[in-house]
Chain A
Amino acid sequence: MFDLAYQTIVAIIGGTAILASFGVILCASPIYSALYLISNMICLALLFLLYNAEFIAAVQIIVYAGAVMILFLFIIALLGAKKEEKTSSWEKPAAFTFIPVLFGELLMALTMDEGRPVQGRFTEEFIANVGSAQAVGLELFSRHLIPFELASILLLAATVGVICLAKFPAKVGGRRVK
């Protein structure tokens, strides 16, 4: 099934996402870089929406565009938004070699075989029946319950660690260092 209007919208949003990601790395000002990253995330959410994954789209916006990027802007505001100076280093040519490698891999994956959808117990009819939010919830809290809980404990440990590092002075060699 090839719907021209639909494919055009997908292509436009995908192209905008790519342009925005270029903006992230090419912009000198950190505020604009962060804004480009936000627009990139919004584009990704729109792509999810176009593929009928409205729950993932909403979560993408709430978590990444809404929460994570606000903290980025926060840090930029607190540290002062100075423009980056251009410096030449060995990382740049190394990065340029990655581009053909990545695109070559993509091309290989495209030419190897026709793409196949992943077969699972969540068929299109099932998701249309219960809704994508319920499908994600069912999968997360039944089959992947233990990894889910482990991940939450990991995040909790990280939060406690951050509070310990920030609030209490670290002991170096048995001495309190301020």
Chain B
Amino acid sequence: MIDTVTQFLSDNVGLIVGAVKAAVIAVALLSSVPILVWLERRLMGRFQVRLGPNRVGPFGLGQPFADAVKLLFKESIIQGSADKFLFFLAPAVVVFTAIVTFSAIPFGASFTLFGQEIGPHVANINVGLLFVFAISSMGIYGIVLAGLASNNKYSLMGGLRSSAQMISYELTLGLAALGVIIVSGSLNLVEIVEDQSVVPNIILQPLAFILFFTAGIAETNRAPFDLPEAEQELVAGFHTEYTGMKFAMFFMGEYVNMITMSAMVTVLFLGGWNAYIFEFMVPPVIGPIIVFASKVFILLCVFIWLRSTFPRIRYDRLMTFGWKVLLPLAVLNLMVSGFIKVVL
């Protein structure tokens, strides 16, 4: 019995390593959400010259736990005219796609552990970049379905707005990423990072970086592009009717998407786990992961900084900005980088 089990284990090491990695990364992602919420509230407090949460525990660190307990025990209200199945499906789709998107992102150089070469990513996919775009585009369904299933005007308008916004900005996102693909000649995210071991893509593709980051903020529905939940006009947008943990799942999806987007910017433009001039300070194995995490952390702080700095822009301006400014610039960037690649 034990022999067959050990035989099975040694035959399927890859499978087991993959499953363990998937579980570890999913748990790490989900547990970083409350910390990120805490960080956002503290930083926003500082930016707006107030204290932020500071009553529960040291530095208000108990606040996320208190919030989580509150959300878990809240009564789940579903209005009678809602489509029950779709109402339950929508938050699940949002969280599922948010977590699965992260599975393609490599966040460290591969190392050897117990004679096994382990790459710090769930899957090293040949078309990793396309995989990320494919799965994150599926996340829009969660928002549209939430709007449709709630049977509420505000929800429907919020859902439609956000899907229109995400479809529009996805184009810019993809075209900006194409500039990186032209430079590195690969769709594999590990190869894209290894290609930047000397010069990060932000120096080669500065315009693409700005476009990608701007479109990324819009894609994650963050301020100043958080039109789907414009409180003044739409109550809370697509999640008006959601309470308790289902509401928290939309929240979780948004924050995981924020982390994924920061990780994508790090991989595509900031050279992933390459530390460049600080390379001598980086310890082996754990070092590259720390480098990657600190780059992601800085980008997350920029996300929060932008939220507390800019007011929300008007909906028609948002669409005009996406289609008439960002998209032509992205096409221009693509043409110029293609031209440079062919000529040089």
| A contacts, CB < 8 Å to B | 31, 38, 54-55, 58-59, 61-62, 65-67, 70, 73-74, 76-78, 81, 131-133
Contact = CB atoms under 8 A, between A and B. Distances in A.
A15 to B, nearest CB: 22
Nearest to B139: A66
Interface in B94-140: 125-127, 130-131, 133-135, 137-138, 140
A54 B125 contact: yes
B126 A133 contact: yes
Top-6 shortest CB links A-B = A66-B137, A58-B130, A61-B134, A62-B134, A58-B134, A58-B127
A55 B147 CA distance: 32
Interface of B: 83, 86, 125-127, 130-131, 133-135, 137-138, 140-141, 144-145, 147-148, 156, 159-160, 163-164, 167, 187-188
A31 B145 CA distance: 9
B148 A73 contact: yes
Given A62-B133, A66-B134, A70-B163, A31 B148 contact: yes
B127 A133 contact: yes
A70 B131 CA distance: 18
A29 to B, nearest CB: 8
A77 B127 contact: no
A59 B133 CA distance: 10
B178 to A, nearest CB: 12
B187 A133 contact: yes
Contact of B147 (A65, A77, A132): A77
A73 B164 CA distance: 11
A70 B125 contact: no
Contacts of B134: 58, 61-62, 65-66
Contact of A70 (B133, B135, B144, B188): B144
Contacts of A77: 144, 147-148, 156, 159-160
B138 A66 contact: yes
Contact of B167 (A31, A70, A133): A70
B96 to A, nearest CB: 12
B138 A55 contact: no
5 contacts: A73-B145, A77-B159, A131-B126, A132-B126, A133-B130
Contacts of A61: 134-135, 137-138
A58 B86 CA distance: 25
Contacts of A55: 126-127, 130, 187
A61 B147 CA distance: 22
